[in-house]
């Protein structure tokens, strides 16, 4: 992949995709993004306006209203010059009215639809899909003390498990696992007919700042991880939240992983657990309290205290192995402090 490469990025208006697009543009790529509506597309173009200088349209947009519709990406993949795809678009919600309709079908069918479309363009040589630690972790085994998760692990959940679960979080995990399995099955089944290799990126809980600072009017519609930091520094969270998933990563490192997966030859046909390590919400609160970048009044009046120094990830909870991403992709990970403090400082303007 060189600087003349044009990359299609789906779900371009999302938290992770915005950082991926910024990384690509800064690295000299041209980008075609997809969004569900013209208004969303305009926001993406505005956010990255600095890279669309006169006579140099490095970023353009395509409208894809429903990613699960057959042929949804047919037009987008045929934009002149596209040789790689990063598929980020997928529903992310932890409360669903109908698990099958709201989570499972969009995630699985959206992935299949994207790959079907990509297969129609023989110039596409690389596809990178944003999967999740949710496709790795076996929720049924609980905290698994003494166990270390890596890329060889798979969440064993079935479609019916996800469909019938009363937990939106469980159903979301099912949607990510089943979508990633569908992608690998597609590539295996079509290996003699497609021109592209596949890489999947599997991040756990993602922290870090939004690419563009959210406006005050957007405080009620923040993504899950940003909303959690906002609730801590804004005083809405009166107690330290319980930790559900004990691994984390910075959004900017997730973006870098996607770009490196395009560039590193050895990343083809590989999945990557992208993680900065383990964390707990008590550790996040302690990090925010220790930071000189967080105003004293926020520490005194807003942040919950919990039990400082207690409840960090330890021998009672699984570990995670990120060696493959470091050795093969050359990733270097930000600290938890850099990640959550950067996000908190950005969000303080909304408090």
Position 193 scores a pLDDT of: 95
What percent of the chain stands above pLDDT 90? 82
Q: 221 exposed, middle or buried (CB, 10 Å; 0-12, 13-18, 19+)?
A: exposed
pLDDT digits (tens, 9 = 90+) for 290-321: 999 999 999 999 999 999 999 999 999 999 99
Give yes or no for residue 55 having a pLDDT over 60: no
Selected catalytic residue, list 75, 126, 176, 227 = 176
Pick the closest to residue 1 from 108, 186, 154, 125 (CA basis): 125
Q: Flag whether the pTM goes above 0.85.
A: yes
Q: What angle do CA 20, 127, 36 make, to 5 degrees?
A: 60
pLDDT digits (tens, 9 = 90+) for 69-120: 999 999 999 999 999 999 998 766 667 788 888 889 888 999 999 999 999 9
227 is catalytic: no
Give yes or no for residue 203 having a pLDDT over 80: yes
Helix (H) or strand (E) holding 148: strand 148-149
**What count of Cα atoms within 13 Å lies in the side-chain half-sphere of residue 5?**
23
Residue with the bigger pLDDT between 350 and 33: it is: 33
Domains and CATH numbers, the chain: 6-207+247-276 (3.40.50.720), 208-246+277-350 (no CATH)
Position 1 scores a pLDDT of: 55
pLDDT digits (tens, 9 = 90+) for 6-36: 999 999 999 999 999 999 999 999 999 999 9
């Amino acid at each position: 992949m060189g600087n003349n490469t044009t990359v299609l990025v789906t779900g371009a208006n999302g938290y992770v995709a915005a950082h991926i697009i910024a990384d690509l543009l800064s690295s000299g790529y041209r980008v075609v993004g997809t969004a569900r509506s013209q208004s969303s597309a305009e926001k993406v173009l505005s956010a990255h306006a600095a890279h669309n200088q006169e006579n140099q349209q490095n970023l353009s947009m395509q409208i894809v209203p429903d990613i699960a519709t057959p042929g949804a990406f047919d037009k987008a993949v045929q934009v002149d010059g596209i040789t790689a795809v990063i598929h980020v678009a997928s529903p992310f919600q932890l409360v669903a009215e109908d698990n099958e309709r709201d989570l499972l079908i969009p995630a699985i069918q959206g992935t299949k639809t994207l790959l079907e479309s990509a297969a129609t363009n023989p110039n596409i040589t690389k596809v990178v899909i944003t999967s999740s630690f949710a496709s790795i972790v076996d929720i049924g085994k609980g905290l698994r003390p003494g166990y270390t998760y890596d890329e060889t692990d798979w969440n064993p959940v079935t479609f019916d498990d996800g469909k019938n679960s009363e937990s939106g979080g469980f159903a979301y995990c099912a949607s990510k696992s089943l979508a990633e399995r569908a992608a690998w099955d597609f590539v295996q089944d079509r290996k003699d007919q497609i021109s592209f290799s596949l890489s999947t990126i599997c991040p756990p809980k993602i922290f870090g700042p939004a690419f563009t600072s959210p406006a005050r009017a957007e405080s009620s519609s923040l993504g899950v991880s940003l909303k959690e930091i906002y609730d801590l520094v804004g005083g809405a969270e009166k107690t330290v939240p319980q930790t559900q998933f004990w691994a984390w990563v910075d959004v900017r490192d997730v973006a870098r992983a996607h770009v490196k997966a395009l560039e590193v030859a050895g990343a083809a046909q590989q999945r990557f657990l992208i993680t900065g390590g383990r964390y707990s919400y008590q550790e996040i609160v302690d990090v925010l309290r220790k930071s000189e970048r967080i105003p004293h009044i926020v520490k005194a009046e807003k942040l919950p205290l919990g039990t400082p120094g207690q409840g960090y990830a330890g021998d009672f909870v699984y570990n995670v192995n990120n060696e493959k991403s470091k050795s093969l992709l050359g990733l270097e990970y930000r600290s938890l402090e850099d990640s959550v403090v950067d996000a908190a400082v950005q969000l303080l303007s909304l408090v």
